[in-house]
Each structure stands twice: as structure tokens, then as C-alpha cells.
Structure 1
Amino acid sequence: MDRILIDGLLHAIAGWTMKLGSGAVWFEKWGIDYAPDKFGDGVRATGDSVKIVQSGKIQDYLMLTISALVVVAIIVFMVIN
């Protein structure tokens, strides 16, 4: 009786626990670890590409601002006329 009933029940519970644990490991790997890591990689890549534009020279920022204002003025002028 002990070998059939109790051992069978314990083996069934152990098998169910292993399957539940495997599901938790899969969720942790792909849901908890993978997605935020890839999001962080994307943020880092975006920062690296923007870093090239940032020279630290005020003249470059002024030229960019003036250029943007000229483009906006041209667009506004074209829309009004």
C-alpha cells in the first residue's frame, strides 16, 4: 500500500512541481530577463547614436537651432500662402 499509494502520490506531486518550476524558469528567462534586457539594449543603441550629435560646442547647438527655425519658417510661409 505504501509503495503504490503514497509513493505514487509523491511522484505525481513531484512531477507537477517540476513542470511548474520549468514554466517559472521559462517565464523568468523570457519575460523577466529577456524583454527588459532587449529594451535596455535599444535605449543604449539610441543613446549611442544621439551621442554623435552632442558635440558640447554651443556654436553647433546654435546652428542647429537656427536651421530648425528656418525650416519651420519656410513651412509656415508655404502653408500661409
Structure 2
Amino acid sequence: MIEEATLHNVRRYRAIASLCRQAALFRPLQKSSLLKQAEDWEHLALIELESCLDQREEEETNAPAEPMVDTRWWLPRREGLFANLEA
């Protein structure tokens, strides 16, 4: 799952982009500048998502092939620990 901080940043970047597009409707003289800013914010959102996904893929490829086994509760082999004891 994508981290909560990444999703928060993406939502924020896209909200700012939306505000820029809305402002462009009411400011015809600054329309091109505001639309460029909206495009830049959307690009930042995509970069944020891609970096998070790339990091997750890297973690998955670096994961050990065998699952981690908790050996703290394994009992020693009978012949190893009790080999020299007489009944």
C-alpha cells in the first residue's frame, strides 16, 4: 500500500493544481502562467507517486528469497544436547 504521507502530498499537489486552473478562468491576463503552474503541480504529484512505487519495487526485489523463520523456540536435537547423558 502506498504510504499515507505520499497520498497526502499527492492530494495537496493536485488540489493546488486545481486551484490554479480555477484561477485561470477568472484571470485571463495570467491564464497561461496559471495553467503552466497547474501543469507543474500535476507533474510533482506524478513524480511523488512514481518515486513511492519505485521504492516499493526496490524493497520487494531486495527482500530475502526465503521467509524469515523465528528459531528462538526450536528445540535442540536430541542427539546433540543429550548425547552424553545416561538414562
- Bin the TM-score by the shorter chain: 0.3 to 0.5
Q: Which has the higher contact order (CA 8 A, sep 6+)?
A: 2
Which TM-score applies when normalising by structure 2? 0.43
Highest CA radius of gyration, 1 or 2? Answer: 1
